[in-house]
Amino acid sequence: DTGVSQDPRHKITKRGQNVTFRCDPISEHNRLYWYRQTLGQGPEFLTYFQNEAQLEKSRLLSDRFSAERPKGSFSTLEIQRTEQGDSAMYLCASSLPSTRGRETQYFGPGTRLLVL
């Protein structure tokens, strides 16, 4: 399977713990995105990388959230001091560059986080 992969697929943690998710994009896709999806809602944009540079962050990305893409390949999303409101599906997507936003974003299977 050469699609976007995410690990783990499921994570249960206790409030106050730190969690880290990993995303491996489609090979040669230099753009990588993180979204969050809560139950009954569409995905909401969190952040975007082009190669290793984090170019955009949503206001949804509080100080407890940090994302990295150190070598321009895989990315990690860390949530510190988790809260019950962080429970959601975290989706990663990747794309090739395209002019003026015409690119198609391809999504991974997501990591479902439950904070107890």
Q: What is the smallest separation between the CB atom of 81 and other proteins, expressed in angstroms?
A: 26
Q: What is the smallest separation between the CB atom of 16 and other proteins, expressed in angstroms?
A: 27
State the residues that interact with other proteins by CB under 8 A. Answer: 4, 6, 31, 33, 40-45, 48, 50, 55-56, 58, 91, 93, 95, 101-110, 112
Q: What is the largest CA-CA distance in the chain?
A: 43
- 50 vs 80, beta carbon nearer other proteins: 50
Q: What is the smallest separation between the CB atom of 76 and other proteins, expressed in angstroms?
A: 18
- 16 vs 114, beta carbon nearer other proteins: 114
What's the sign of the alpha-carbon dihedral 27, 29, 32, 37? negative
What's the sign of the alpha-carbon dihedral 23, 98, 46, 87? negative
- 76 vs 80, beta carbon nearer other proteins: 76
- 75 vs 95, beta carbon nearer other proteins: 95
Q: Tell the residue number behind the tokens 């509080």, with chain if given.
A: 62
Rounded to whole angstroms, the Cα distance separating 67 from 88 reads: 17
Rounded to whole angstroms, the Cα distance separating 91 from 116 reads: 20
